[in-house]
A and B are shown apart, each in its own frame.
Chain A
Amino acid sequence: MSQARIIGVGLWGSGLPGFPASRAVLAGEAPWAADDAPPPVPGLLPPAERRRLGTTVRLALAAAAEAVAMAGIDPHTAHNVFATSNGDGAVVHALLEELARPAPLLSPTQFHNSVHNAAAGYWTIAIGSRAPTQCVALHDATFAAGLLAAMVERAAGAPVLLCVHDAPLPAPLAAKRRTETGFAAAFVLAPVGAEAVGAEAAAASLGRLAVRYEAAPALAPFASLPPALRRLAAGNPAAQALPLLAAIAAGRPARLALPYLDARLDLAFEPGDA
C-alpha cells in the first residue's frame, strides 16, 4: 500500500477547462457539454519554443502548471512523473510519412520532438528543473501505470508532480488507435504526516490517497461517473484519471479500481486533511 496527500490538481479536456471551472461538472452537480477549446498557451516558455508545441505538450503543460500553482510549492522541488500512451502523434505521423518517401529528409526539430518524454522535457526546460523526471506508458493502462510509478517515486522523499496527457492520433494512425479528444490531468503528491516538510507541509490537502496493485481484474471501473464523463474516460487513456478527479471535486471518500492489463489498481481516497 502506497500513500500520499494530494495537494494540487490540474486538468484540461473537452468541456473541462481547468479544475476550478470543472468542479461542478466533475462532482455531478452540473451537466457536461463538449467544448474543444485549446488549453491556454503556456507563458512559461520563450515564444519561439511555444509556437512549436503540439497539442499533447500544450495539454500537459497546462495541467501541470495548474496543479503546481494550486499546491503552492516551488516546482523545482518536485520530482516529475509524466505518463502518455500516444506521445506526440502528429509528430510521429509526419516523420513516418517522410520516412516512406524514397530519400527521406527528417526535420531535426520534429525528430527530437518525437521522443516520448518531449512534454516532460519541455516542462523541465520551462521551469528550469533539475529534478528526476520519468516518462511512462502502458497503452490503456497508462494512467494506472503512471500513478503507481508516481506513488513509488513519492517514497523517495520529495513531492511528486504526476502529469498524464494524451491527444488523438492523426489519420491513418487514428484508425489503429482510437483516442477521441485531448485530455490532461496533473496531481501533486506530497508525503503523509510527519514526513512532510516546507511548503508541501503547509499546503492544504485535497485528500489522502492510498494505492495498491491487485493481480485480479477490475469490474465496472468507471461506473461511478456520470455517462458523459464515462464516455470521455473510455475515449482517452489519460482520461482514466476522471474517477479520481471526480472524487476530489466532490470531496467524498471513494474506493476506485483502475483496469491494469488483466489486473487492477485499487485506489482509496479520503477527502480533507485526514
Chain B
Amino acid sequence: MTSPAAPGIPITARGLVSALGHGLTATAASLAAGRSGLVACDFAGQRRGFIGRVEGVESHRLPARLAAFDCRNHRLAHLALDADGFAAAVGAAARRHGPGRVAIVLGTSTSGVLASEEAYRARDAASGALPDWLDFEHTHDLGALPRFVRAALGLAGPAFTVSTACASSAQAVGLGARLIAAGIADAAVVGGADSLCGLTLAGFAALELIAAGPCRPGDAARDGLSIGEAAGFLLLERADAAAPDAFALLGWGASSDGYHLSAPRPDGAGAALAMRAALDAAGLAPGAIDWINLHGTGTPANDAAEDQAVFAVFADTVPASSTKAYTGHTLGAAGVVEAILATLAIEHGRVPAPLNLDQPDPSFRVPPPRALGEPAGRERPVRRVLSNSFGFGGSNCCLVLGRADGA
C-alpha cells in the first residue's frame, strides 16, 4: 500500500478562499485570532446547523470567455485562482515548461450540482424538461472543474477530476505529484473546490450528521459536522524549478476501508494504513511529525475512529487537532484546504488553537496541542505536518507537508 519513496514535490504557489477569508493573509489572520468562519445556516432553503460560507461568491462574475462555466462552484474556484497571485504564478510556470506540460488534477464531490438543483425547480410544467439555461456539461458534470481551470489558466496539459467524496482534493494533490514524478508533466495545478448546495446540506441532515451548533471536533459533547465551502489550489513543480526551501509535498498515502459506504471502520485500520503509507513515502518516522491536522469532522463516529487510527501510528506523541470548526467541513475541498493550512502553520510557526474543544473526549488517547503543555496557538516550531482526509466510499488519503530542503 505504499507509494514509492521519492524526494518531495515542491509547492511553488498557493491560492485559497474559504469562510476564513479570501487569500492567505486573511486566512492566517483569522487563524491567529481564533476566529471561526461558521454562521447559522440559511442556504438553499436549509436552516439546520451552521455553515462556512464564502463572502462575495454571488456577486463575483466570470470573464465573458468563461461564461459557459458560470455556476457557484466555478465562481468560488475563480476567486481562489485570483487570490494570492496564484493565476500569475501558473502563467509563469506555463511559460517555463510549456502549457502542455502543466497538468490539472482537481477534486470535487458535487461539482456544480447547485445549477441542476435550481434547474429542477424551473422544469417545464407540461413536459418536465429542464430549462435551456442549464449548461450541464460546463457546470454540474463532474469533469467541469478541471476543464474550467484549464481554460481559465490557458493550459493544455492532461486534466481530470478526482471524486472520492471528502478525500477528493487530498487524492488530487497526490496524483498531481505523481504525474510530475512520472515525467508526464513538469508542473501541476492541484487542489479542488466544493460549494454550498442543497444536496450536501440536506443529505448530511438525512444521515443525522449535522451539528446543531458550530461543530465541536474532538469534544465529548460533539454532535456532528458543519458544512463549509472552499476552493484551494497548489502549484506543484519539478524540483529544479523551485527554491530549495519551498514548501513541499513530502509524501502521501491512500487506502480503502472496504467496510461501509458512509460509515468509517470503527477501529480506524484503513485510516492508519494511509498514514503509514504517507510516512513511508516521505521516508519519515512518526516522531518527525510536529502536528497532525485531523480529518476531525466532529461526528461522533469519525472522531472516535480517527483517534484509534492516529494512536495506532503515533501513540500519544504528536499533537493532533482539527481545523473544521474554523472553515466547516469543505467536503471535496477539505484535503487541499487543510494542506494549505498546514503550510501556514509551518510558515508562521503556529498551530491553530482548537476551537469549541471545551471538554476533550475523555476516551481519546491522542493529545490535542494544549495537552502537551503547549498553550494553544503559542508560537512553536512546526516543520512537518501530516493531514488526514477520509471520504464516503471508504476512501482515505493522508498528505505530509514540509519544506523541500527538510529544514
Chain A residues within CB distance 8 Å of chain B:
2, 80, 85, 87, 92, 95-97, 99-100, 104-108, 111-118, 120-122, 124-125, 127-139, 141-142, 145-146, 148-149, 152-153, 155-157, 171-173, 175-177, 213, 215, 260-263
Chain A residues, Cβ within 8 Å of B3: 156
B207 at the interface (CB under 8 A from A): yes
Q: How far is the CA of A173 from the CA of B203 in the complex (A)?
A: 20
Given contacts A100-B117, A152-B182, contact A263 B165 (CB under 8 A): no
Q: B190 → chain A, closest Cβ, in Å? A: 13
Inter-chain residue pair count (beta carbon < 8 A): 218
Given contacts A106-B203, A111-B262, A261-B159, 8 further A-B contacts (CB under 8 A): A85-B141, A96-B116, A114-B203, A115-B165, A115-B392, A141-B160, A153-B178, A157-B4
Q: Which residues of A contact B150 (CB under 8 A)?
A: 261
What is the minimal beta-carbon distance from A158 to any residue of chain B, in angstroms? 8
Chain B residues numbered 250-280 whose CB sits less than 8 Å from any CB in chain A = 253-262, 269-270, 273, 277
Say how far B350's CB is from chain A's closest CB, in angstroms.
Answer: 32
Q: Which of B121, B175, B273 is within 8 Å of A134, CB to CB?
A: B175
8 inter-chain pairs at a CB distance below 8 angstroms, sorted by A residue, are A95-B199, A99-B202, A108-B206, A116-B109, A121-B393, A138-B160, A145-B160, A146-B160
Taken together as a complex, chains A and B put the C-alpha atoms of A152 and B45 apart, in Å, by 43
Check A112 against B261 for contact (C-beta < 8 Å). Answer: yes
Report the nearest B residue to A215, measured CB to CB: B100
Q: Are A112 and B392 in contact (CB under 8 A)?
A: yes
**Chain B residues within 8 Å of A115, by CB:** 109, 163, 165, 261, 391-393
CA distance A108 to B262 in the complex (A): 9
If the complex has contacts A130-B257, A131-B255, A132-B1, are A139 and B392 also in contact, measured as CB distance less than 8 A?
no
Q: Which of A100, A122, A132 contacts B254 (CB 8 A)?
A: A132
Interface residues of B (CB under 8 A from A): 1-4, 45, 99-100, 109, 113, 116-117, 120-121, 123, 128-130, 134, 136-137, 141-144, 146-147, 150, 156-165, 171, 175, 178-179, 181-182, 184, 198-199, 202-208, 253-262, 269-270, 273, 277, 391-395
Chain B residue contacts of A132, Cβ below 8 A: 1, 253-256, 277
Q: Is the Cβ of B182 less than 8 Å from the Cβ of A155? A: yes
Given contacts A118-B393, A124-B258, A137-B142, contact A152 B99 (CB under 8 A): no
Contacts of B175 in A (CB 8 A): 134, 149, 152
Known contacts: A95-B203, A138-B146, A175-B130. The answer to whether A133 contacts B141 by CB under 8 A is no
With A153-B178, A260-B158 as contacts: A117 and B99 at CB distance below 8 Å: no
With A141-B143, A155-B178, A215-B157: A136-B162 Cβ-Cβ less than 8 Å: yes
Instruction: For residue A207, give the distance in angstroms from its CB to the closest CB of chain B.
Output: 21
Contact of B130 among A107, A135, A148, A172 (CB under 8 A): A172
Q: Which 10 residue pairs across A and B have the least CB separation, nearest first?
A: A121-B393, A215-B100, A111-B203, A116-B163, A132-B254, A145-B160, A176-B136, A112-B262, A139-B143, A137-B142
Q: Given the complex, which residues of A lie within 8 Å of B2, measured CB to CB?
A: 156-157
Checking A97, A111, A261 against B120 with a beta-carbon cut-off of 8 angstroms, the contacting residue is: A97
Q: When the two chains form their complex, are residues A116 and B202 in contact, meaning their CB atoms are under 8 A apart?
A: no
Residue ID in chain B nearest A260 by CB atoms = B158
Inter-chain contact A121/B395, CB cutoff 8 Å: yes
Please name all residues of chain B whose beta carbon is closer than 8 Å to the beta carbon of A129 when the two chains form the complex: 256, 258
Shortest distance between the CB of A256 and any CB in chain B (Å): 17
Residues in A neighbouring B205, C-beta threshold 8 A: 106
